[in-house]
Structure 1
């Protein structure tokens, strides 16, 4: 946490944030003036460091930055975005406040941390591709992290996983009976991997 959240912003300021903001939720007129913003039901107050620059300038999903070229593309667009944002901020407020914070969030890697924390469907890939390598690139390239870290999810994690595997086995058997399937339905790779880990 301390690597990504600076102490001076822990107690604020907090800003109303449109957390589901992307280009398909913004409507413009023919002169590119913003007319309407939709999907406001997810708006909430967040720390200033979570006022993140838009990754969707590249037309990629948040978990679509998996190679140096895509990250370089985003970096170039964000530099341009920061410059324009700074001009607007100076014109409106007479001084810069938000722009330097956004630049720091991007350059420090906090950008990926906050995206992972707020977008569940992209969390694992964002962590693996962008957050974990900041701490240990070797773990990112090996399976040791996945084999060890899951034990620390909770104290009785082994019991929970074993019960989940039993539940899935029962569910699979129930499906077979319901649909008259004779051959067993193959277990998902994740379940097999967890079962192997438990046995070691």
Structure 2
């Protein structure tokens, strides 16, 4: 993480090799989230040649991807209540976004990051020395505030993390990270350890964890992001009925359409399994 992020990059995106053989940062930031959504025929509204010069523009585009998943995935909702809950979460993710990102970092630094660097992609020897990494295709230039300690430190899914247990291991990781940072100082004024610690204290860790995860954003929002604003709100039905209409126009019609999509999806699914 330290070696790859030492150099400040000019924008958010992914590298390509152009027709002349030059390495260029001219592709959209191709993360696993985009790949999964497009495989399910969900539009992401992010052309291949689109890059981003600010954190705000990139985060807003990722939230639009979540909107499209809710709109176009046929089994995106389980019920009307679930649909309203997801609409509320996405609306408020936009509302609270400024609370988790430093305006001074809106224009960078942007740094190279392996977005799929989990434990099974790290090969070690008998003494646990890292020998090589695999599965690197999801590397991208991303905002420094989206770089966080690995979410898999306690071997639990992002929406199942025990905060106290995780924080104990996270502190050990950060202590080692800070020492190693002295060997790989960045070529810009911001220290990754400071940014990551601030992200943990202010809750940016959870926001940046929810952003690239279409399946976990809903749970992370209500478990980790929303409670500090008013934990009792999530137990009040009026809270959802007041907020959800601001996600999009004609919410009642949208909810009906999603229930119809789910019913049609169930029928197609049963038909597929009934075939010999």
TM-score w.r.t. the length of structure 1 is: 0.77
Equivalent residue runs for 1:164-179 within 5 Å: 164-169=258-263
C-alpha displacement of 1:87:
0.8
Equivalent residue runs for 1:1-200 within 5 Å: 1-65=97-161, 70-93=162-185, 97-169=191-263
Aligned-residue CA RMSD in angstroms?
2.6
Higher radius of gyration, 1 or 2: 1
Q: Is the 8 A contact 1:86 1:99 kept in 2?
A: yes
Partner residue, 1:183:
none
Partner residue, 1:193:
none
State the Cα deviation string for residues 140-194 of structure 1 (Å, max 9, x = none): 33344333333222113322222233344456667789999xxxxxxxxxxxxxx
Equivalent pairs counted in the alignment come to 176
Write out the 4+ residue segments of structure 1 that deviate beyond 6 Å after TM superposition: 173-180
- More moved, 156-165 vs 111-120: 156-165
Q: Is the 8 A contact 1:14 1:45 kept in 2?
A: yes
SS class of match (1:35): strand
Q: Is the 8 A contact 1:26 1:34 kept in 2?
A: yes
Structure 1 pair 113–173 and aligned structure 2 pair: CA distance change class (3 A): closer
Q: Matches of 1:71 and 1:89 in 2, distance apart?
A: 25
Q: Larger RCO: Structure 1 or Structure 2 (Cα < 8 Å, ≥ 6 residues apart)? A: 2
Q: Is the 8 A contact 1:89 1:96 kept in 2?
A: no
Q: Matches of 1:176 and 1:59 in 2, distance apart?
A: 34
SS class of match (1:44): strand
* Greater percentage in helix: 1
C-alpha displacement of 1:121:
1.3
Q: Is the 8 A contact 1:20 1:43 kept in 2?
A: yes
TM-score w.r.t. the length of structure 2 is: 0.57
Q: Is the 8 A contact 1:4 1:113 kept in 2?
A: yes
SS class of match (1:17): strand
Which structure 1 residue ranges, 5 or more long, are not aligned?
Answer: 181-200
SS class of match (2:99): coil
Which structure 2 residue ranges, 5 or more long, are not aligned?
Answer: 1-96
Structure 1 pair 82–96 and aligned structure 2 pair: CA distance change class (3 A): farther
Q: Matches of 2:116 and 2:175 in 1, distance apart?
A: 24
